[in-house]
Amino acid sequence: MEKEKEVTQEQLLKAARKSGFAGGITTGLVIGAILICTSYIASQLTPSKASTTVFDSTKETSGQVIDDDVVRKLKLLEESIDKYYLEDAEAEKVENSLYKGLVEGLGDPYSTYYSKEELEEVYDSTEGIYYGIGAYISLDETTGGGKITKVMPDTPAEEAGIHDNDIIVAVDGENVLGMTLNEIVSKVKGPENTQVMLTLYREGESDYLEIPVTRMKIESPTVTYEMYENGIAYIQITEFDSVTTDQFKEKLNQAKTEGMKGLILDLRDNPGGNLSDVVDISGEILPKGLVVYTEDRDGKRKEYSCDGKNEIQVPMVVLVNGNSASASEILAGAIKDYEKGTILGTTTFGKGIVQRIFGFSDGSAIKLTVSHYYTPKGNDIHGVGIEPDETLEFDYDKYLEDQSDNQLERAKEILMKQQ
């Protein structure tokens, strides 16, 4: 056991670099942490049988989770805490943890319980305005941490020196590995002008980085636009919020006014967002027909279509990568099925399931995965992703050297040949 205690963070990080980021960090941070914690618990925390108070909590199988036996056991747990726990327990925090634990038992990282305050934050975020650091965060399923998929320009995150692909290991000293995405994001966000301390893993660094960031009001510019030579327009969508549809229409109309002859639609690092907004944006691109359809556990199907009145009439290239997820995959998948553009980059994330929020009278809510979604041709991309028509890895070394984007340059080449 003592040898396990001697495993150092530096050794774990070296192992991560040696075996590759994806697999190495799992071995180093997850398995290594288990070894260290197991050693400590075994030698320090395990009580003897003589010092352990045993309550009768025998439960007969009843076929449901919350039955009389469970309620009785919860009362025993509460009585034990009241009688023996060293500190004063926060009743609301303990109560919320019960609800969260019930949902976490589903084993679905996309289903979660929201307190009233957390639900308000969720709705604020879908509006495109929030108080935070100015970075897009996704769940890194390999490490269980929060992955910085993109740092927004002119934000506290950029000013503090946070980089794309940094992994959030802890927030204000609290380990977040294994938490849900919503839990991680809620800890990063907070009141304006307050400071949050992020512990980050960055590939190539020999130790964790401790970076303080001051939270500010962030108004998400979810759509950016640029016109290149030869009438090639570039539109990037960073996520699908309530503000995104109007922003996209504005930029697309600007591109048309400026003589657009080809369009590069950049969905790289786009984690998704509102289903209604991606359907509306699809209506600015696709021909008349199905955009996406969903099926629940009973096979009930719901279809989302567009009228085709605004179908785009110029060649298009869609840039995607492994961080393009959910709503961005709906748009990319529909464009691919209708052959309205060339999908370029690397295989997308593969989140082909839909969540729905069910509110309660006290202001809290539960978000549950309720259905699968399918592309117009019936493809279920969950756990698979969308394969690009042309695979091209992003050249990070070249980007760091001269800020060039090899995927973007290849998209321009494709459109030049199609004009």
Summarised one tens digit per residue, pLDDT across range 54-84 is 444 454 544 578 888 888 998 998 899 888 8
Ranges 20-24, 128-132, 201-205, 394-398: which has the least confidence: 20-24
Residue type at 131 in one-letter notation = Y
- Active-site choice (337, 367, 371, 412): 337
- Active-site choice (326, 328, 367, 412): 326
- Active-site choice (251, 351, 367, 412): 351
Report the alpha-carbon distance of residue 21 to residue 396 in Å, rounded.
15
Q: Is pLDDT above 70 for 125?
A: no
Report the alpha-carbon distance of residue 322 to residue 141 in Å, rounded.
12
What pLDDT does residue 70 have?
87
Which residues, other chains included, contact 205 with Cβ-Cβ below 8 Å and sequence gap of 6+?
13
Q: For the packed helices 275-282 and 327-337, what is the interaxial angle rounded to 10 degrees? A: 30
Active site residue 389: no
Mean pLDDT of 227-247: 94
Which residues, other chains included, contact 271 with Cβ-Cβ below 8 Å and sequence gap of 6+?
136, 138, 149, 239, 323, 325, 326, 328
Active site residue 337: yes
What pLDDT does residue 361 have?
92
